[in-house]
Amino acid sequence: MQSTKPVQELDPADVSAAEGRRSAFLQAMPVALLDLEDALPGIIATAPGSGRTKLRRIYGLMDKISVVRREFVACAKGCADCCKMNVTISKLEARSISEITGRPFADVADSVQHPTDAFVGVSCPYLVNDVCSIYENRPLACRRHASFHSSSAWCKPEMLETEKVPLLQFGGIDQAFIELSTEKRKLVLADVRDFFPA
């Protein structure tokens, strides 16, 4: 007889509260920041500078949004569960991380899509003692990730597919990032562990 791990279920009140915090965050977003997010693809397309410089501009806007978001999410320093699941980055980001850290990256030629549970419990190669060693240069996926729950209990990797979390879409940021990361008409996305294998 096989034993199966019971799947925890969220209290509907907790789901509702998380959705409420997500809505409150959206209402707290300054109009100027929303307008800038909408305009970002055009700004990035016409801005001078290298791909890395433009990537920093995208990160900078996401960081401004994160400041507003901070009071509505469970995320805090020392919580590293989101670093122990799939972390999809672009080849441009891998190149940037490599330049900053001096660690060579694998030249992944085509996008790699893993099952959502492929890296459950497997630490990002840049996670050291549950602290991000490249925090100032972390990828967009890490900057975007947030839990609107009141605690990090539902961020545990083993809870990955047990519930639907309230997520946010960032149309302008996503479009600017995809267009910037597309090299020679090809977008290469893969997990951070594909680019930086152990």
Write out pLDDT tens, residues 71-124. 999 888 878 888 998 999 999 999 999 999 999 999 999 999 999 889 988 999
Mapped onto helix, strand or coil, the DSSP state of residue 176 is helix
Q: What is the pLDDT averaged over residues 32-56?
A: 96
- List the Cα angle 183/186/187 in 5-degree steps: 85
Q: How far is CA 131 from CA 84, 86, 108, in A?
A: 12, 17, 26
Q: How far apart are alpha carbons 130 and 190 in whole angstroms? A: 22
Predicted TM-score (pTM) of the model is 0.88
Tokens 């940021």, residue located? 173
- Listed by start position, the domains of the chain span 12-195
